[in-house]
Amino acid sequence: MKLNNYHSDNENLNKLLDGITAEIDDYAKTHGLEASPAGNPLTDTLNSIIGKVKDYADKQITHITKLNEIGIALSAEQNLQRLLERIVDEARAFSTADAGTLYILNEERQCLEFAIVQNDTMKTRMGGTAGPITWPPVPLTKDGQPNCSNVSSYTAVTGEIVNIPDVYEAEGFDFTGTKKFDAGTGYRSKSMLVVPMRNKENEIIGVLQLINAIDAQTKESVAFLRENVALIASLASQAAVAITNVRLYRELEHLLDSFIRAIAMAIDEKSPYTAGHIRRVQELTMIIAKKMTDQAEGVFKDFKLNEDELKELSTAAWLHDIGKVTTPEHVVDKATKLEKISDRAELVSMRYEAMKRDTLIEYYKKLVSEECELNEDKAAEIKKQFDERYNELEAERKFVLACNQPAEFMDDAKVAKLKSISEKNWNDGVGSRPFLSEDELYNLSIRKGTLTKEERTIIENHALVTSKILKSLPFPKKLMRVPEYAAQHHEKLDGTGYPFGKKAEELAYQSRIIAIADIFEALTASDRPYKKPMPISQALKILGFMKKDGHIDPDILDFFINEKIYREYADKEIKPSQIDC
């Protein structure tokens, strides 16, 4: 029944009682009963009864109103520890109990674990935000049979409410522990109300135990009022539903977190050369963000991320490379310029070996000719020509293989030399072939790194794919900017970044933080086959150049350096040999 229905019923009851009172007065007047100076006993008795009914109705409405207020408050609490504390606080206040204990059924449903213990007289608060309780749990079975000796386990097993006026006079339960506690502390446990906590599926998830209801006037311990037991049971059920909801929310949140990390791990594992990249970027992102949030003065004094906003940023960092699920592995893993499915440098090397072999065969043919046998000078000349040609081929082979390495910067002279080599021909036994194919020349001529323009476009496309994937997901309100932060980690403040070419005024601090974390991790990572890991000083120098060029946030980089955030990260993730500042 809704709360307004209760108020309506109460108003109707008051109207009915007022009508009854008026009829009694009319009856008394008609029969001359109002003439008694001391009042008419019948009228007084009836009016007294009506007054008590009104008081009871008002009291019940007050209780129901309070119960609804408590239910609303419990439903709004998302922190499980604070929720458990509040359940006991509200139950004790509602029932005027001096003490209370909240037990939660463990996952295996084998015992009751102490969650909250409160006692005003003893000034005791345990569990919840006050810290864990180390008391042993209450087993639900003993010797293979249901444990009905402990009142809390009895309620958990049977689902029955137990209302005891005085535990020292109660029979059927073992209160040895309670009496021992009283003896050691001087406390006197008397009245006790034990209520099962049932969720929406009617499952018992815990037990609420209240001790010593206090009379408002005498301040003495009294029995828990029978008329309040049903309301307290209702409160216990509301509490159970609230606990179940918070647990479900936390479980779903944990599932989402685990799923996100599993995706990140799968992306990293897709390439043996990026294993751990996403995890490290997320870690560094959160170090920077939390330290910025902690600033009470300076540039970032107004930058404050609450718990939900930090969670949102963390999720974005975990998912910033999700678009790489569509990036071909041979592009992601391209360790050398000639690598496709395999490194074609081996084919080039074999080609040169074949030409060296042919040169050697041709030399021996000439050496055994009649002309060379009769002329030593001619033989020496042929030997000289062979050596020059053989050494020329070996030098070219080494040059081509060196050009294949990502660390080799290709200036105009090197590119021109490659082109001249590609114009030469060799015979593969079938026909004449160029020393280097058009595609081999194109890849070997890459000025820096290992990727062609087309391959770099494929790599850069992962940021756009990240945006498309994440925007298709129904993120909750508190994570709604995850797609934005994740997809913008390659944007630059001057608008030359990708995939959207956004400028500074369009980029939140969160996106800028991930960008710096991503660059620093990439520069210092030791698992890239196409480059050596940089020492910290060199990585910071490159970041400094990017700052001057207007690519990254200058304030965040200065903060990153001045607060030595790089060192905190390095101590855990960077090889000692790289830590040079």
DSSP 381-431: HHHHHHHHHHHHHHHHHHHHHHHTSTT----HHHHHHHHHHHT-EEE-SSS
SS3 content of the chain, % helix, strand, coil (to 5): 60, 10, 30
Q: What pLDDT, on a 0 to 100 scale, did the predictor assign at position 18?
A: 63
The rounded distance, in Å, linking the Cα atoms of 296 and 217 is 51
The topology (CATH level 3) of 271-330+454-578 is Hypothetical protein af1432 (1.10.3210)
DSSP string covering 443-500: HHT-SSSS--HHHHHHHHHHHHHHHHHHHTS---GGGTTHHHHHHTTT--TBS--SSS
* Helix or strand run (H / E) with residue 12: helix 3-30
Between helices 565-573 and 536-548, what is the axis angle to 10°? 140
> Is there a contact between 476 and 520 (Cβ–Cβ < 8 Å)?
no
Torsional sign, CA 48, 50, 54, 57: positive
Q: What pLDDT, on a 0 to 100 scale, did the predictor assign at position 551?
A: 97
User: Against a cut of 0.85, is the pTM above it?
Assistant: no
* C-alpha distances in Å from residue 122, one per residue of 178, 180, 187, 475: 14, 15, 8, 47
Q: What pLDDT, on a 0 to 100 scale, did the predictor assign at position 3?
A: 37
Coil, strand or helix: which one is 119?
A: strand
* C-alpha distances in Å from residue 531, one per residue of 191, 345, 401, 459, 526: 75, 18, 16, 17, 8
| DSSP strands (E only) in 204-310 | 204-214, 221-222
The rounded distance, in Å, linking the Cα atoms of 564 and 581 is 10
Which ranges of the chain have pLDDT less than 50? 1-7, 9, 35-38
The rounded distance, in Å, linking the Cα atoms of 50 and 43 is 11
| Phi and psi based region of residue 439 (left: phi greater than 0; alpha: psi -120 to 50; beta: remaining) | alpha
**Token representation of residue 254:** 């944990």
Amino acid present at 76: A
| Residue located via tokens 């502390």 | 185
The rounded distance, in Å, linking the Cα atoms of 395 and 401 is 10
The rounded distance, in Å, linking the Cα atoms of 116 and 124 is 10
* C-alpha distances in Å from residue 362, one per residue of 37, 254, 343, 355, 383: 148, 73, 30, 10, 11
For residue 278, the cross-strand partners are: none
> Is there a contact between 173 and 60 (Cβ–Cβ < 8 Å)?
no
Q: What pLDDT, on a 0 to 100 scale, did the predictor assign at position 35?
A: 43
Q: Which CATH homologous superfamily contains domain 80-255? A: GAF domain (3.30.450.40)
- What values do phi and psi take at 124, rounded to 5? -115, 130
> Is there a contact between 167 and 187 (Cβ–Cβ < 8 Å)?
no
* Helix or strand run (H / E) with residue 140: none
Q: What pLDDT, on a 0 to 100 scale, did the predictor assign at position 23?
A: 62
